[in-house]
Amino acid sequence: MIPEEAPGHSSKTGSLPRSPSQTPNNNAVLSEAPVLIEATQPDNADAHISAVSVETTDKIDHVIETDRDKSGGGSISPSALHRVFRGVVEATRTPDAVAKPIFRWISPRRGEAESDQDSDDAARALTPDEWCDAAAEGLAHEDLRQLARVAIGVAFLREKVRRSQHATAADLEWVWRLVHGAMTHLMTLGPRFSASRSSQGFLAVPLCSLLEKGKIDELYRLHIWLPDGKRSNPDFAVHSHQAYAQSWILAGVGTDYQYTFKTVTNRADATHAVYKLNWTDGKDTSTNYKTHQTSSTVRNTKAHGCITKTRGPSVHTRDMSYSVFCRDFHRTEVAPDTLHATLFVFDSHRGYDKEAPVLGPVDLVSSTHLRNPIGVTPAALANLVDAVRSWETLMEQRQKHFERAEREGALQDFNRALTLCECVPDFPNHVGIEQLKERLKIVRSLKAALDPRSSDPNQRRLLNTFTTWETVGFRRLSLRYTARGEGEKAIKAALKGVELTKNSTDPTVIAMSRLFYGRALLREALKQFNSPSGCTPAIALLDVGADMDTIDEQGYKALDYAVFNGDSAMEALVLEGLRRQMDGVMKKEVARRQDETKLWKGYRELLQELRPLLLSSNNNQNALQDVRRVYADALAVDAEKAGQFDVLKSVCFTDFLHFGKIPRSSDKLSGTGDSLVRPYRPKVQYDDEPADTADVVIFFSYCWINKGPGTARDTPDDSDNTQYKRMVNAIESFLRLHPSVNKERVRIWVDYACVDQDNPAPGVAALPMIIAQCDALISLVDDAYYTRAWCSVEAMMVQTLRRSYSHHMWYEHVLSDSGGGILREGPMNLEIVMTDKELTYEEDRPKVMFLERQSKLLG
């Protein structure tokens, strides 16, 4: 499998990442790899877009490895790098005096005979990392090194394309690090990246531009759709390309649509006309492509036709790649409020058509688009793309933590993602502030022209309108200051907005002004009262009513910290704060929170020891035995945990058979008087108790059906022992399914026997960890099973274990027409929602909901 982990770092190139090509599988030829192809082949030059997922998970396991020698996919020859650097020089307008030292560094022996050059070229091929190391050593100025790195990154992608190899997620990350570093570096010797606004709505930054006689030979660009609402003119959205195009998605989501165009003779039937494209660079206007354009113009050729959508929407997300053949019609759609970025190449070596048209309105003569990006710099664009990539990575990690019920990790990554929103470099809040100040100045001048004492209704109406505008301006100004972290200015601006509403009769204007003033004050107040870092200041501010329920960036509250740290004095202080916060009327609720926090601490500490064993591979047949041993040892040495959680107990199946009904926890073996229920004992003993040698421990999940005449209310079964008989039948069916299991060494866990009925709390609290230690859970399913809260939470726990690890079994026992029953696999796709489940005793609901939350920790 091709690794997706971020590459390491070169010792010679500082922060430069190591190229993924250093990993053997990255040079795999993917001719046999399963790919996602979206293509159409209609009769008339229709669009053909192939989308290839480059997620390096199980989707492309079946790659063919190649040797990583000098001719393999992991190396770049001097001639290839020399060619790409020519394009970088053109794209960045690098002066000759700056470019020459780099050309000499790439090919110091280009003056030799051609045959000698070819031989030397092959011998001097280097891996991308070796080229980066060489640039760090051989180029004296940082500008030169940054330009060389862009060329190395582009050449790396180019070699991937030439060899028909996938660029993996790790490849794209490595290339992006080089491009981002160069675009954000402050060049001092003259080279500069430039941005232009495409007619398709995105901003384009050329990275490598190779032109031959006015046509594109190879052109690599960074394309960025900003979340600024500026998108392509919908009248000209459907277009084609002269050269074959390939795109690698860096960030965000784009949607592609494909079309065919069929000419019509009757103009009235036409939906579109064919337009011819010219480019202008300030010196010349023609159909010849210009790397640095000032404008582009499309002119109606009077050729008319109709378009038909052949495919779409095709959604493209990060680390995917798709291709568009020359002259094929398509359009790309990006939501106006989102950022989308791609690395894009036009490659005439894979197809070229000089007449590739744009489609537009039937009646329009021409349309000109200005390419000016209006103040947007390439460095700012690169930083925005990098921020969104970081956001996506953190949100993906958060989702993975969430799916595994790792609340701390999920909240940490989510808060890191939110932090990115507050620290994007070059975000133009200062521009917005100046614009708002200018608008406030204008509206005040309009008010000044009116007589505030006038009785003219028109003047009064205008005065009220202008005052409302001024109020809105101060509210927005307050938000801008808040975003820049200028709290005092935010409060002053919001307060001015409130003062302007003193004579207002509009309740909405008054309410909104107070809202923004309160918001500005709240931000400052919360910094003092509910800081999410360090020792919670709320503890020290108890007397002024600080919120004891504040959750910090780690997912913890003040009580959690006090309990986790074992600080009884702090715990008492926080509990007092909670009592005050709840007005002293919910003492039971405060006590419940205290108990749950202590149990949560115990769960976390125990599961930290058990999870590595649960994660052990399928080959470890003793994994659950190891889990039982570690759990028993942990309780044996920790008196507090031993008081909170019950040990694993079980009943020998043969004893269960002889007993004839579901035993109670206090029942004894006939004859010996020994307890029918035995705790698990590790194999190494320091007393006279025998070690448990059970092969399989089976947990029974079932409904209590203690109804009917002669049935005690505190027993789980009816007078016919229906559930007991089902358990016996289920075990016998299990043994038939697993003939290697010795009947004499099967033990069962059933709540009425294994939870102390006179002190059930430790047994109930231990439920998630008990199920984790059992080899199988069998659900005695009937019409009521999935409506009952206790049954549902047990099923949810085994679902979590089954999804996360490879050691547990889950069966449903279903009654058959013959009166017996059958075992079937438990439904892993069943969604269990606890909020609507039934309980015999409603006071048990907090316990069940707490267990539901803790069950997620099992994942």
Q: Which amino acid is at 386?
A: D
Cβ atoms within 10 Å, residue 601: 18
Cite the DSSP H helix spans in 23-110.
Answer: 78-92, 96-106
What is the distance between the alpha carbons of residues 795 and 827, in angstroms, rounded to a whole number?
9
Report how far apart the first and last C-alpha atoms of the chain are (Å, whole number). 25
Q: Where do the domains of the chain lie?
A: 20-29+64-184, 196-203+213-376, 383-422, 429-529, 537-604, 619-858
CB 603 within 8 A of CB 853: no
The SS3 assignment for 829 reads coil
pLDDT value at 278 more than 80? yes
pLDDT value at 273 more than 90? yes
Q: Both tokens of residue 281?
A: 């660079």
Q: Which amino acid is at 178?
A: L
What is the distance between the alpha carbons of residues 225 and 235, in angstroms, rounded to a whole number?
18
pLDDT digits 0-9 by tens, 486-505: 888 888 998 998 899 888 88
Mean pLDDT over residues 88-111, rounded? 86
CB 290 within 8 A of CB 280: yes
pLDDT digits 0-9 by tens, 401-413: 666 656 566 566 6
Q: Give the fold, CATH level 3, of 429-529.
A: 1.25.40
237-257: b (≥16 Cβ within 10 Å) or e: bbbbbbbbbbbbbbbbbbebb
Q: Which amino acid is at 499?
A: E
List 360's β-bridge partners, or say none.
Answer: 273
The SS3 assignment for 391 reads helix
State residue 210's pLDDT score.
94
What is the distance between the alpha carbons of residues 234 and 680, in angstroms, rounded to a whole number?
71
Q: Does domain 196-203+213-376 have CATH number 2.60.120?
A: yes
The SS3 assignment for 813 reads strand
Closest CA to 226 of 338, 333, 342, 387: 338
Q: Both tokens of residue 591?
A: 């006590």
Cite the DSSP H helix spans in 107-207.
Answer: 114-123, 128-138, 142-162, 169-184
Cβ atoms within 10 Å, residue 434: 12
pLDDT value at 758 more than 80? yes
pLDDT digits 0-9 by tens, 622-680: 788 888 888 888 888 888 888 888 999 999 999 999 999 999 999 998 878 888 999 88
Q: Both tokens of residue 762?
A: 């430790």
542: confidence class by pLDDT, cuts 50, 70, 90: low
CB 485 within 8 A of CB 430: no
Tell me the backbone φ, ψ of residue 652, rounded to 5 degrees. Answer: -65, 135
Cβ atoms within 10 Å, residue 203: 22
pLDDT value at 778 more than 90? yes
Q: Which residue has the tokens 């006939």?
A: 670
What is the distance between the alpha carbons of residues 333 and 317, in angstroms, rounded to a whole number?
13
What is the distance between the alpha carbons of residues 379 and 392, in angstroms, rounded to a whole number?
20
pLDDT digits 0-9 by tens, 519-537: 778 766 655 555 454 444 4
Across the chain, what does the average pLDDT equal? 79
Cβ atoms within 10 Å, residue 172: 23
pLDDT value at 565 more than 90? no
11: confidence class by pLDDT, cuts 50, 70, 90: very low
State residue 711's pLDDT score.
57
Kindly list the strands in the beta sheet with 649-652, ordered across the sheet, starting from the edge strand earlier in the chain: 678-679, 649-652, 746-749, 696-701, 776-780, 809-815, 821-825
